A and B are shown apart, each in its own frame.
Chain A
Amino acid sequence: MKQYTDLEYLKLSGPEKFANKFSRFFFGIPHALLKFLKAIGRFFANIGKKIAHVFVNIYRTFVCGDWKTRVSYFIMGFGNLSRGQILRGLLFLIFQIVFIGYIAIWGWKWLAQMGTLGTVGPEEIYDEIYDSYITIYHDNSFKILLYSVLTLFFCVGYIVTWYFNIEQNRIAEEIIGSSKRKALKKACKKELKAAQDDAAKEEIKARYKAEIEAVPVKKLRSGKDDVRSLVDDQFHKTLLALPLIGILIFTVMPIVFMILVAFTNYDGAHNGYSNNLFHWVGWDNFNTMLNWKTGNKAYSAAFGEILAWTLMWSVFATFTCYFLGMFVAIMINKKGIKLKKVWRTILVLTIAIPQFISLLYVSKLFADKGIVLTYLQKWFHVPETFSFYGPNATAWTARITVVVINIWIGIPYLMLMATGILMNIPEDLYESAKIDGANVFQQYVKITLPYIMFITGPYLLTSFIGNMNNFNVIFLLTGGAPTNAAASAASGSVGYTDLLITWLFKMTTGANSEYYMASVVGIMIFVVTAFIAMIVYNVMPSTKNEEDYQ
C-alpha cells in the first residue's frame, strides 16, 4: 500500500482515492487488532498492579498502624468505634457479625457441597402403613448451586468491605496525624541513639517535641457528617445503591449461574431434585458443541449453520432498515411534500402497537391459507405449493420473507431517527453548496449522507447486535419454521429461520430441556457479539466523546 501525503492524495482521481481508502481500511485491521490485544494486555497488567498494590497496602497498614488499626484487622469497625466514628464502626461491626453468623449457620454447608452438587439423590422407600412406595427427596443440586453462588457473592462482598475497613483506619490515622507523629518519634529515637552528649540530646528532644506538636490534628468525620455527605459529595452512592443491587441480583447473578450451568449436565432428566442430581462435567458441553472431530457432529454442524444465518440476518436486517429508513425520512422531509405529520404518524403505528399483536397477526397473514397467499393464488395464479414459511417452504423463501417483514417493523425507528438528524444538519452547509453550484444529488451524497453516517455509526453497531438477538421477530413470525431436518438432529426442532437466540429458547423449553446446552449457546452468543463489538469499536473512528456534548 502506498502512503500519500495530503497534497498527493488530493490530486488523485475518484476511484484511486476510493482504492486508497479501501486498502487503508483493510490494512488497518491487523494494526487495530494489535492495538486491541495490547489494550487487553495493559488492562490485565493494570489489574495485576492494582491487586499487588492492595496487598502492599494491607501489609504496610498493619506494620505502621497503631494498636487500634491492628485490632480492626480482626474486629471490623473497631478502629472507627475507638476513634469516635460510632456510625461507621457499628455498620462495619454489624456486617461482620451477620456475615460470620450466616457462614456458620448456612453458608459453609452450601460451600461444602459446591464441589459435588449433592451426593444423595431421591430414593423410593417402601412405606408399610400405606403399603406403597413413596419418594423421599434429599439433596437439591439446583439449590446447592444457586445458594453457593450467592454465598460466594457474599464472601466477595465481605472481603471488599474488610479491605475498605482497613483503608478507613489508614486514612483516619493520616487525618488525625497519629501516623506522622509515630514516624517522628521513631526518627527522634534514632537520632537520640546517634547523639553524643546530653546537651545535643536535649536539643533533639526539644526540636522533635515542637515538630510533633506542630502536626495538625484534624477532626474525623462524625456520623452526622457522613449522613450529610450522602446527599452531597457522596451523593452517587445514595443514587446508585438501589439500581446496582438490582443489577447485581437480577443480572449479574443469573449470568454467573448460567456460565456455571454450562459446565454441568443440568437438563430435564437431571433436574437436580425430583429425578436425578446433576453434577460438574467440565468442558464436555463445549466439546460437544464446538469440536468438529470428536464431538457430536450434529451439534457442531447445527451451530455452524445457525450462526451463519444469524450473522447474515443481522447484516441484512440492519442495512435494509438503515438505508430504506433513511430514504423514507429524506422523502418525507423533502421540500414541498405536504402532510409530513400524517405520513410519519402512519409509519409510527408499528412502534405504537405491541409487537406480539402486529407480528403475530402478520405471521398469520402470510401463513399457508392466510389472506396474502389466498389472494396471490386467486389473482396472480401463484402455484398452490408456494408457501412463505409453512412446513413446505424452501429455506430461502422463508428467510427472505422474514427480512422483508422486518423492514416493515424496522423502517419507522430509522425514519424517526434520521428525521431528527436531518433537522439538525446546519442549513448553511446546503446554502454554501448551492452557491458553489452543487446540484441536489451532489448535496445528498456530499452533505446529507456523510453527516448521517457519521452520527449513526455507533447506532449501526448496537442495531447489529440487537438484530442478532432479535427474538421477537423470528419467534412471533415463523417460530423458526420451516424445519431443518439435518440441524434438528442436534436438539429440538430447529428451523431454517432460527437464530441462535431462538435456538437457545427452544432448547430450554423443548422436550429434553437441555439447559446446559442452552447455556453454552448463550456463552457463544456473548463471545460472538463481544468480538464483533470490540473489532468495530477499534476500527471505527471513535465518535463517542461524551464530554463534547456538554
Chain B
Amino acid sequence: MSEEEKKVVAQEATNNPTAGEVSVNSLAYTTGQEVVKAEKKEKRHMGLKAKRILGNTVVYIVLVIMSIIWLAPFVCIVLQSFRCESTWMTGYIIPHKWGFDNYVRLFKNTKFPRWFLNTTIISIATAALQLIIILCMSYTLSRLRFKGRKALMNAMLVLGLFPGILGMIILYRILADLNLTQQNAIPGLILVYTASSGMGYYVSKGFFDTLPKSLDEAARVDGANRAQVLFKVILPLSKPIVIYTLLTSFMGPWGDFVFARYVSFGTSDGMNVAVGLQNMLGSAGSINANYTTFCAGGVVVAIPITILFMCLQKYYVEGVTGGAVKG
C-alpha cells in the first residue's frame, strides 16, 4: 500500500469515523426490529386465536349449562311419567320402577281422550276462523286507506289495555243465555276465542306493511278490483303470515285454563286438556293421587304440539322478529 493510499483510507476513516459500524448496526437493528415485529404479530395473532378459542369455550360452557337448565324440567316430567311405584310427588328424579301404568291410568280412568278430542276440535276450528278474521282486519288496516282508519287503530290500542279476564263473568252469562256452556262448551269456546280475535292484528299487519305497494298499484292499473288484488296478488305472497297465524291460533286453546274452566264448570265432558290436567293438581289430596298421571298427560299433550311447532318454527320466528321490527 502506498503512502497516498494509506492517507486516503485514514482520511476516509476520520471523515466518517463510525460509518461502517453504523451501517452494520442499523442493518442489524432493522432486521432485529422486523423480527420482533413479526414475532409480536404472530404473538398477537396467536393471542387473538387463543382469545377466540377461550371466548368460544366460555360461550360453549354457558350454552351447555343453559341447555341443561332448559331441558331439565322436560326430562324430569318424562321420567316421572314412567314412574310406577307411587303416584305421589317425590323428591327424586329417576324412577325405581319403570312402566306405562300412568299412561294406562290416564286413558282408562280419566276422560283424557275426550278432553284431547275436545281441544283438538276447538283449536282446529279456532285456527281456521281466527285466520279469516285476522287476515281481514290486518289487510284492511295495512293496505286500504279509508276514513276513520287511524281512529279505529287508536281505539283498538286503548281497548287492548283493559284486562281481558274481567270480561269473563259477562261472557259466561252470554254463553249461558245462548245455552253454550257445560255440555255445549265446545262451540261456546270457539265463539269466544274467535269473536274478538281481530284485536290481535299487529303481527299480521306488520307483515302486510312490508309488501311493496307497487304490487297493488300494478294490479289496479291492470283493471283488478280491490278484492281481486287481495285474492290474486297479496294472498299468494302471504304464506308465511298465514302459517304463523294458523300456528299461534292453533296453539292458543291448548293453554287456556281460565275461561275454559268457567265455561265447562260442573261437567267433565266439556273440559279441554288444560282444565282437566290442571284439576289433577288442584288440591293436596289430588296431587298425591294424580301427580304422575298429570306428568303422563303433559307428555301426551306436549309431544304433538312440540313436533308441530318445531316443523313450523321458521314461520314462527319470522312472525316474532317481523313483529318486533315493526313495533
Q: Which residues of A contact B (CB under 8 A)?
A: 142, 146, 228, 231-233, 235-236, 238-240, 242-244, 246-247, 249-255, 257-258, 328, 331-332, 334, 336-337, 343, 345-358, 360-362, 364-365, 367, 369-371, 373-375, 408, 413, 416-417, 419-421, 424, 455-459, 465, 469, 471-472, 475, 501, 504-505, 508, 515, 518-519, 522, 525-526, 529-530, 533, 543-544, 546, 549-550
Cβ < 8 Å to A, chain B residues 266-283: 274, 277-278, 281
- Does B213 touch A at the CB level, under 8 Å? yes
- Does B221 touch A at the CB level, under 8 Å? no
With contacts A146-B173, A243-B198, A337-B59 known, what are 13 further pairs, Cβ within 8 A? A142-B173, A236-B149, A247-B159, A247-B196, A349-B70, A354-B305, A355-B255, A358-B73, A360-B278, A416-B321, A455-B325, A459-B324, A504-B163
Q: How far is the CA of A357 from the CA of B258 in the complex (A)?
A: 14
The answer, among A235, A373, A421, A501, for a CB contact under 8 Å with B163, is: A501
Q: How far is the CA of A240 from the CA of B133 in the complex (A)?
A: 9
- Does B166 touch A at the CB level, under 8 Å? yes
Q: How far is the CA of A354 from the CA of B56 in the complex (A)?
A: 33
The answer, among B67, B73, B158, B197, for a CB contact under 8 Å with A362, is: B73
With A236-B146, A254-B171, A334-B56 already in contact, the answer to whether A354 and B251 are too (CB < 8 A) is yes
Contact A349–B278 (Cβ < 8 Å): no
Q: Which A-chain residue is minimally distant from B214 (CB atoms)?
A: A550
What are 16 inter-chain pairs, A to B, with CB distance below 8 A?
A: A235-B230, A236-B146, A258-B162, A328-B66, A337-B56, A346-B71, A353-B302, A356-B274, A357-B77, A364-B291, A365-B76, A371-B90, A459-B327, A472-B255, A522-B165, A549-B209
Cβ < 8 Å to A, chain B residues 155-201: 156, 158-159, 161-163, 165-171, 173-174, 192, 194-199
**Residues on the B chain within 8 Å of A252, using CB:** 159
**Residues on the A chain within 8 Å of B169, using CB:** 258, 508, 515
Contact A549–B326 (Cβ < 8 Å): yes
Q: How far is the CA of A367 from the CA of B66 in the complex (A)?
A: 22
**Residues on the B chain within 8 Å of A469, using CB:** 163
- Does B295 touch A at the CB level, under 8 Å? yes
Q: How far is the CA of A331 from the CA of B146 in the complex (A)?
A: 46
- Does B52 touch A at the CB level, under 8 Å? yes
The answer, among A228, A242, A255, for a CB contact under 8 Å with B167, is: A255
Q: Which B-chain residue is minimally distant from A407 (CB atoms)?
A: B69
**Residues on the B chain within 8 Å of A334, using CB:** 55-56, 59
Q: How far is the CA of A254 from the CA of B175 in the complex (A)?
A: 13
Contact A408–B69 (Cβ < 8 Å): yes
Q: Which A-chain residue is minimally distant from B291 (CB atoms)?
A: A364
Contact B327–A543 (Cβ < 8 Å): yes
**Residues on the B chain within 8 Å of A472, using CB:** 255
- Does B210 touch A at the CB level, under 8 Å? yes
- Does B286 touch A at the CB level, under 8 Å? no
**Residues on the A chain within 8 Å of B235, using CB:** none
**Residues on the B chain within 8 Å of A353, using CB:** 74, 302, 305-306
Contact B59–A331 (Cβ < 8 Å): yes
Contact B198–A247 (Cβ < 8 Å): yes
Q: Which A-chain residue is minimally distant from B324 (CB atoms)?
A: A417
Cβ < 8 Å to A, chain B residues 194-234: 194-199, 209-213, 225-228, 230
Contact A371–B196 (Cβ < 8 Å): no
Question: Secondary structure at chain A's binding surface: helix, strand, loop or mixed?
Answer: helix
Kindly provide the distance from the CB of A264 to the nearest chain B CB, expressed in whole angstroms: 13
Kindly provide the distance from the CB of A519 to the nearest chain B CB, expressed in whole angstroms: 7
Contact B255–A354 (Cβ < 8 Å): yes
Kindly provide the distance from the CB of B156 to the nearest chain A CB, expressed in whole angstroms: 8
Contact B52–A336 (Cβ < 8 Å): yes
**Residues on the B chain within 8 Å of A508, using CB:** 166, 168-169
Contact A250–B277 (Cβ < 8 Å): no
**Residues on the B chain within 8 Å of A546, using CB:** 209, 326
Q: How far is the CA of A358 from the CA of B299 in the complex (A)?
A: 10
Interface segment, one of B21-29, B37-45, B97-105, B136-144? B136-144
- Does B320 touch A at the CB level, under 8 Å? yes
Kindly provide the distance from the CB of B254 to the nearest chain A CB, expressed in whole angstroms: 5
Q: How far is the CA of A173 from the CA of B268 in the complex (A)?
A: 63
- Does B60 touch A at the CB level, under 8 Å? yes
The answer, among A254, A331, A417, A457, for a CB contact under 8 Å with B62, is: A331
Contact A526–B161 (Cβ < 8 Å): yes
Contact A471–B162 (Cβ < 8 Å): no
Q: Which A-chain residue is minimally distant from B211 (CB atoms)?
A: A550
Q: How far is the CA of A362 from the CA of B75 in the complex (A)?
A: 12
**Residues on the B chain within 8 Å of A529, using CB:** 161
Contact A370–B89 (Cβ < 8 Å): yes
Q: Which B-chain residue is minimally distant from A231 (CB atoms)?
A: B227
With A336-B56, A353-B305 already in contact, the answer to whether A420 and B66 are too (CB < 8 A) is no
- Does B93 touch A at the CB level, under 8 Å? yes
With A235-B226, A349-B306, A364-B89 already in contact, the answer to whether A356 and B278 are too (CB < 8 A) is yes
Kindly provide the distance from the CB of A542 to the nearest chain B CB, expressed in whole angstroms: 10
Kindly provide the distance from the CB of B27 to the nearest chain A CB, expressed in whole angstroms: 32
**Residues on the A chain within 8 Å of B52, using CB:** 336
Contact B162–A526 (Cβ < 8 Å): yes
The answer, among B199, B309, B324, for a CB contact under 8 Å with A351, is: B309
**Residues on the B chain within 8 Å of A258, using CB:** 162, 166-167, 169-170
Q: How far is the CA of A330 from the CA of B288 in the complex (A)?
A: 43
The answer, among A360, A371, A455, A518, for a CB contact under 8 Å with B92, is: A371
With A252-B159, A352-B305 already in contact, the answer to whether A421 and B321 are too (CB < 8 A) is yes
Q: How far is the CA of A355 from the CA of B274 in the complex (A)?
A: 10
Q: Which A-chain residue is minimally distant from B327 (CB atoms)?
A: A458
Q: How far is the CA of A247 from the CA of B157 in the complex (A)?
A: 13
**Residues on the B chain within 8 Å of A146, using CB:** 170, 173-174
The answer, among B56, B67, B90, B139, for a CB contact under 8 Å with A346, is: B67
Q: How far is the CA of A501 from the CA of B322 in the complex (A)?
A: 29
CB-CB nearest 4 A-B residue pairs: A420-B321, A374-B91, A243-B198, A254-B167
Q: How far is the CA of A229 from the CA of B274 in the complex (A)?
A: 46
**Residues on the A chain within 8 Å of B70, using CB:** 346-347, 349-350, 408
Contact B298–A544 (Cβ < 8 Å): no
Kindly provide the distance from the CB of B168 to the nearest chain A CB, expressed in whole angstroms: 7
The answer, among B132, B158, B170, for a CB contact under 8 Å with A254, is: B170
Q: How far is the CA of A515 from the CA of B168 in the complex (A)?
A: 11
Q: How far is the CA of A205 from the CA of B186 in the complex (A)?
A: 75
Contact A550–B210 (Cβ < 8 Å): yes
- Does B11 touch A at the CB level, under 8 Å? no
- Does B301 touch A at the CB level, under 8 Å? yes
- Does B63 touch A at the CB level, under 8 Å? yes
Q: Which A-chain residue is minimally distant from B313 (CB atoms)?
A: A348
Contact A530–B158 (Cβ < 8 Å): yes
Contact B194–A246 (Cβ < 8 Å): yes
- Does B310 touch A at the CB level, under 8 Å? yes
Q: How far is the CA of A358 from the CA of B158 in the complex (A)?
A: 32
Contact with A along B102-134 (1 / 0, CB 8 A): 000000000000000000000000000000110
Contact B67–A357 (Cβ < 8 Å): no
Q: Which A-chain residue is minimally distant from B143 (CB atoms)?
A: A550
Q: How far is the CA of A343 from the CA of B67 in the complex (A)?
A: 7
**Residues on the A chain within 8 Å of B298, using CB:** 357, 360-361
**Residues on the B chain within 8 Å of A365, using CB:** 73, 76
**Residues on the A chain within 8 Å of B251, using CB:** 354
With A352-B309, A549-B326 already in contact, the answer to whether A501 and B295 are too (CB < 8 A) is no
Q: How far is the CA of A328 from the CA of B322 in the complex (A)?
A: 19
Q: How far is the CA of A358 from the CA of B75 in the complex (A)?
A: 11
Kindly provide the distance from the CB of A507 to the nearest chain B CB, expressed in whole angstroms: 10
Q: How far is the CA of A252 from the CA of B152 in the complex (A)?
A: 13
- Does B237 touch A at the CB level, under 8 Å? no
Contact A420–B170 (Cβ < 8 Å): no
